[in-house]
Chain A
Amino acid sequence: GAGVSQSPSNKVTEKGKDVELRCDPISGHTALYWYRQSLGQGLEFLIYFQGNSAPDKSGLPSDRFSAERTGGSVSTLTIQRTQQEDSAVYLCASSRDRTPNEQFFGPGTRLTVL
């Protein structure tokens, strides 16, 4: 079946602009995660959605970052007023349910802020 998909695969933007990154999880997966991978910080957790529960936003680095998940499926990560330090690969993952199961990762969106 289809894996986790993310779009766009690459995004170049100017400092100060807003960007939206999209994630389509595997069908039927109730848990969805966003991570960020950068040279300096490695792989960092950003936000976690589980079903209809309130999301775990504890990893978001600032209030410029937000995410939503509509209908328990597709998720959008929004970064407002982008800064150069936001440049990274943004990874989305999904898993079957609440238990710490294997997370399936998407190919990522490479964000470059000029």
Chain B
Amino acid sequence: AQKVTQAQTEISVVEKEDVTLDCVYETRDTTYYLFWYKQPPSGELVFLIRRNSFDEQNEISGRYSWNFQKSTSSFNFTITASQVVDSAVYFCALSEANTGRRALTFGSGTRLQVQP
């Protein structure tokens, strides 16, 4: 069965610091997709990125970057020069392609607090 672990329950940083959110996953499927979602205080989940299991290239989008490593089953998320608006709960999620289970399996989330 699939599983996503976000070991960091809560992280607090000061504005402009870099912060990395960890995500470790388990799956028996050979083809799978990994996601990060942001849930700000307003509550609505916002999609950040999707990565498929065949593409291990790191991705950068502005201050956000993602490091996907199949060897360690990790898909970590780094925010560079954090800002107060980055304060939110961040969820890592997994979807399997071959088992027919399209739904997302979420990690427990990491609450990020960015202090001014």
A interface with B by C-beta (< 8 Å):
31, 33, 35, 42-45, 48, 50, 56, 58-59, 89, 91, 93, 98-108
Q: How far is the CB of A63 from chain B (nearest CB, A)?
A: 19
**Which of B19-27, B43-51, B77-85 binds A?**
B43-51
Whether A107 and B47, one on each chain, are in contact in the complex, defined by CB atoms closer than 8 angstroms, is: no
Q: Is the CB of B109 within 8 A of A91?
A: no
Q: Which of B44, B95, B102, B109 contacts A56 (CB 8 A)?
A: B102
CA distance A93 to B97 in the complex (A): 18
A-B contact count (CB 8 A): 55
Neighbouring B residues of A106 by C-beta, 8 Å: 44
On whether the beta carbons of B47 and A108 are closer than 8 Å, the reply is no
Contact A107 B43 (CB under 8 A): yes
Q: Is B91 within 8 A of A102, CB to CB?
A: no
Knowing A102-B50, A107-B43 are in contact, say whether A42-B103 is a contact too (CB < 8 A).
no
Q: How far is the CA of A107 from the CA of B107 in the complex (A)?
A: 19
Q: A102 and B47: CB pair below 8 A? A: yes
Interface residues contributed by chain B, number (CB under 8 Å): 24
* Contact call A48/B103, Cβ cutoff below 8 A: yes
B45 proximity list for chain A (CB < 8 A):
91, 93, 105
Query: Which residues from chain A contact B47 at a C-beta distance below 8 Å?
Result: 102-104
Q: From A101, which residue of chain B is reached at the shortest CB distance?
A: B50
Q: Is B28 positioned at the interface, with any CB of A under 8 Å from its CB?
A: no
Q: When the two chains form their complex, are residues A45 and B100 in contact, meaning their CB atoms are under 8 A apart? A: no
Tell which of B32, B35, B44, B103 touches A45, judged by Cβ atoms closer than 8 Å: B103
Q: Given the complex, which residues of B lie within 8 Å of A89, measured CB to CB?
A: 43
Interchain CA distance A59-B101 in the complex, whole Å: 11
Of A35, A42, A48, A108, the residue contacting B108 (CB under 8 A) is: A42
Knowing A89-B43, A91-B45, A107-B44, say if A45 contacts B105 (CB, 8 Å): yes
A58 to B107, CA, bound (A): 18
